[in-house]
A and B are shown apart, each in its own frame.
Chain A
Amino acid sequence: MSTTLKEYHAPVWSEPVILEMGYPGRRGVIFSDVEAEVQAAVGSADGLIPANMRRTRKPALPEMSEPEVLYHYLRLSQQTLGMMNISLFGTCTMKYNAQINEAMAWRPEITHVHPYQDEDTLQGALEVVHGMDTILRELSGMDQFIFQAGGGADAAYTNCAVTRAYHASRDELAQRDEIITTIQTHPSSAATAAAAGFKVITLMIEENGYPSLESLKAAVSNRTAALMVNNPDDMGVYNPEIREWVRVVHEAGGLCFYDHANFNGAMTKIRARELGFDACMFMLHKTFGAPKSGVGGPAVGAYGCSAELAPFLPAPVVAFDGERYSLDYDRPQSAGKIREFWGNVPVILKAYAWSRAMGAEGMAEASDISVLANNYMEKGLLAIRGVTRSHPEATSPRMEMTRYSLEQLKEDTGVDVHDVQNRMSDFGIDPMWSSHHPWLVPEPFTPEAGEMYGKEALDTWIAVLAHISDEAYSNPEIVKTSPHNQAIHRLKAAPLEDPLRWAMTWRSYLRKNSKKTA
């Protein structure tokens, strides 16, 4: 393979913090005075505020013209690499966020619509939500989806709320106070279970990459409320005993929740309900082509469940009688709200649009390509000095991602995964993902090729890592002091954890550095 690395440098703007910018009296937005009759009828605004509730000192916001603000933020956008070249961020399933989907989501029929409007005026939005529900039902075998959760973690929380309501309806909630998960399941499953009031039992993985059935059997009891698990996990390992797991948990009276975070390699191949699961979750901002916005959202964790659990879903649920769509708020057994209103409708629209652009065959092909590309990359990556694959006992081809380790590289050269992440960005490549905490594999990294990028892009990615490995063995300092071609140099970590020096706002920064506010 001979891939020539492109020369790259990020824009350097040395942009001030916006609170340092501006000039007194400049304006970015203006509002006209109220009409004379309004003024005459109600008097001054000041008189309409209870005296003790008036603001006495103006906020120290910048005073800027419209173009000054616009161009400041455009310069900042330029200083964000943001998948402009290659980003293989494992578990996040980097997909093309189609422009047509953005264009549709910014039409006034979405932006200028209020969720409490009369249902007759919302038929378009409701049809889209119902359409997405129908698609996800077919992909999972579940009977009802809702879109209220603002992300994957929020959907895991939804599952905990539904689990509580289900067991409460059977007068078993006080007894069933444990949720079982695995160490390789996303941290949010364990975290939301704990926040929902459950004790959390975390099963550890064995040499073959997944926890043993025996460890599950030992954990399950009449205190089990639910199992929350992903499959395949984010090392690309599929638990072949998952059907048996579900049976064991059901036998003990617990519910089974399938976190489909890593659905990309399994789309159209398996259905959660047929594996026995009671509920599942899809991330529309990952698998279904809606953008992630810096792993920050707005996002949607689409939560689906069996007919048996459906009465416990947060309200409202979108219903269709064959002619008209409506919002069903009348759900007396509902677990209560997870978030105001009925979901991030623009994100649902983008996912619906992606699904319609792909069709069933397109989804199947995307799944094929993502697994093919991951295994193609594995061959190139394992040829790089210092790179090893996790869990050598798990010999089957991994699914859509593989967990690797740079332990050898670090031992040999002192260069760690964080150094390599920084150095990658010098070649215009978004730093790769390492692993969730705790790191079961030392110096981990987890590329996920997905279906968007072409073979040339994957070859480039491999070539960059090979180049950095060569540098680590020949001139480690260049990696350890990286980045060299980025918008800024490497950030010092220690001050960010020091209460005397961290500053989450400009005013805090000024105070801690004894600078006077303007």
Chain B
Amino acid sequence: MSNHVAHPYMANSVPALKQEMLDSIGVDSIEELFQQIPEGHRLQRPINLPPALNESELRRHLVSTLSKNKTCEQNLNFLGAGCWQHHVPAACDEVVRRNEWLTSVFGEPSSDHGRNQAWFEFCSQLGELLNMDLVGLPVRSWGCAAGHAIRMATRITGRNEVAVVRAIDPERLSIIRNYCEPVDMPSHIVVRLVDYDPATGLLDLDHLRASIGEQTAAVYFETPSYFGVIEQQGAEIAAIAHAAGAEVIVGVDPISLGVLAAPIDFGADIVVGTTQPLGVHMNCGGGVSGFIATRDEELYAHQYPTLFISIGETTKPGEYGFGLSLFEQSSYGLRDKGNDWTGHSVYMWAIANAVYMAMMGPQGFEDVGNVILQRAHYATKLLADIPGVRVTFPSGFFKEFVVNFDATGLSVKDINKRLLAFGIFGGKDLTQDFPELGASALYCVTEIHTQADLERLTAALKKVIAQ
């Protein structure tokens, strides 16, 4: 310890302080305090890690490592598929980085007042977008939210099947299947995939009718769908599901709700989705989040796996307070008897979402929806004019659309590799997951894409295809 230098993160790493504490306890060495761990359990050699770096060295190392990434700021990005590049107001970043809530844990409603209120305002504003009264604190992703919602529906109905639209993110479907358990498990939930109409991308209603029965707990579909298509048969789907006694679960992209109808208005019972578009960066996929919302009815409230924050009253008349509600029914309260499980999620993003929704207001959501619709449709018009390029579902979509390259003779992989040389990230390759769509990619256009950006994509694609 002669050359010992105190570590900047550890106030008690000064040797004299350690000695003071040892003296106070009345032991000779720190080693004596580890007597619970039998010698035979102890690692018999030092751990071998790279040497510690000071802050200056660490910064240099990380900047150098991260510089190997290429960003969607330096390049023109058309990837979406569940992680979308929208404008994030700087105020969202400023607020969400505040140490007070970044470093907090659960205290009391009085000492966590501001954070609890911010979480309540997240739920409240999302409730306004959704027209729904009951919104839980976030879960980890859209897929997790869908999985939990399906499990809620099975508990509510006592049934064990779910009909899921086939035009769905394969990663999300994989999570749903995971939440529905393998066939070997006695509580397995049968997942029946419902086809989409190959001409429109909309749900195949006949196949839906054939896919549900008296064991169907829920029908799950999305609008906009994974292919970007606005599902306009929501009311018919809900009627078919409700007639069979099933719950209607709808997945939604909340940034569309300034211009598109809220799912409850066409019959949804449980609404799920992500809030990443609402003021959270893509973060290499680390910006995703999930939400679950319903009507404020006990039937639903008692099946949520999430924690809730309720507004309440304090001992001072007229003063607002915010606290956990229905904690006991969670896995924290009832362990294996609780609803699914809860734990760390993405609550910090809920604060960014709250700031975003407040800044947007009703008009902001309408405007951003309009801009996205117009720019995305403009993009399809430009792309469809390129020889060999076809837009698979050319109308009734929101911000994403399927582009088919069959007639170019090129694979999406080749096209995207070539686009990279133009500083363009082409759309998500669908070839493997949806072979019926041929050489297709899912393109995403948002409010950040200008006319010039879309023309740049078009010009690059023309060159790439002609190569």
Contact = CB atoms under 8 A, between A and B. Distances in A.
B55 A357 contact: yes
Given A295-B106, A337-B175, A371 B34 contact: yes
B435 interface: no
Contact of B69 (A34, A84, A109): A109
Contacts of B63: 104, 107
A78 B127 contact: no
Interface in A384-421: 396-399, 421
Interface in A96-132: 96-98, 100, 102-104, 106-118, 120-125, 127-128
Interface in B151-202: 151, 169, 171-172, 174-175, 177-179, 181-182, 184-188
Given A26-B361, A55-B258, A293 B13 contact: no
Given A17-B120, A504-B325, A34 B375 contact: yes
B214 interface: no
A488 B65 contact: no
Nearest to A396: B36
B52 A358 contact: yes
B28 to A, nearest CB: 12
B108 A483 contact: yes
Contact of A114 (B11, B77, B420): B77
B467 interface: no
Contacts of B125: 18-19, 61-62
A470 interface: no
Contacts of B126: 505
Interface string B395-406: 110000000000
Interface in A168-215: 168, 173-174, 177, 187-188, 190-198, 200, 202
A341 B285 contact: yes
B355 A69 contact: yes
B387 interface: no
A320 interface: no
B187 A114 contact: no
Contacts of B225: none
Interface in B360-413: 360-371, 373-375, 377-378, 381, 395-396
Interface in A139-176: 139, 150-154, 156-157, 161, 164, 168, 173-174
Contact of A59 (B77, B174, B258, B374): B258
A457 B127 CA distance: 42
B448 to A, nearest CB: 10
Interface in B12-37: 12-13, 17-18, 20-22, 24-25, 27, 30, 32-37
Interface stretch (A37-45, A249-257, A471-479): A37-45
Interface string B323-348: 11110000111111110111111111
Nearest to B7: A362
B69 A113 contact: yes
Given A53-B260, A486-B113, A164 B10 contact: no
Contacts of A373: 12, 21
B112 interface: yes
A10 B128 CA distance: 31
Nearest to B184: A173
Nearest to A37: B451
A378 B118 CA distance: 36
Contacts of B347: 293-297
Interface string A471-506: 000000000010100111111110111010111111
Contacts of A493: 323
A17 B257 CA distance: 22
Contacts of B349: 298
Contacts of A490: 108-110, 314-315
A82 to B, nearest CB: 4
B454 to A, nearest CB: 8
Given A177-B186, A359-B49, A372-B21, A73 B367 contact: no
A82 B118 contact: no
A360 to B, nearest CB: 4
Nearest to A128: B65
Nearest to B43: A271
Nearest to A296: B347
A53 B34 contact: no
B281 A111 contact: yes
Interface string B102-124: 11111111111111011111011
Interface in A300-341: 301, 335-341
Contact of A266 (B37, B94, B326): B37
B456 to A, nearest CB: 14
Contact of B71 (A95, A108, A154): A108
A220 to B, nearest CB: 18
B55 A73 contact: no
B364 A34 contact: no
Contacts of B364: 27-31
A425 B333 CA distance: 24
B250 interface: no
Nearest to B224: A53
B128 A358 contact: no
A376 B21 contact: yes
Contacts of A339: 140-141, 143-144, 175, 288
B69 A122 contact: yes
A451 B73 contact: no
B466 interface: no
Of the listed residues B66, B169, B181, the one surrounded by the most CB atoms of chain A closer than 10 A to its CB is B66
B359 interface: yes
A345 interface: yes
A274 B77 CA distance: 46
Contacts of B174: 336-337
Contacts of B55: 98, 100, 357
Interface string A72-94: 11111111111110010100101
Of the listed residues B89, B133, B186, B375, the one surrounded by the most CB atoms of chain A closer than 10 A to its CB is B133
A81 B111 contact: yes
Contact of A488 (B73, B185, B314, B357): B314
Contact of A487 (B43, B110, B186): B110
B378 A268 contact: no
A296 B314 contact: no
A74 to B, nearest CB: 7
Contact of B285 (A289, A345, A353): A345
A17 B117 contact: yes
A7 interface: no
Contact of A28 (B112, B360, B378): B360
B354 A73 contact: yes
Nearest to B142: A340
B13 A359 contact: no
12 contacts: A39-B374, A49-B396, A54-B260, A62-B358, A63-B363, A106-B97, A269-B43, A295-B105, A359-B49, A371-B30, A437-B333, A489-B314
Given A29-B360, A293-B101, A340-B141, 17 more contacts: A28-B361, A31-B364, A38-B378, A61-B129, A62-B125, A64-B358, A79-B114, A83-B104, A89-B105, A110-B69, A173-B185, A191-B340, A292-B105, A359-B53, A397-B34, A496-B325, A502-B325
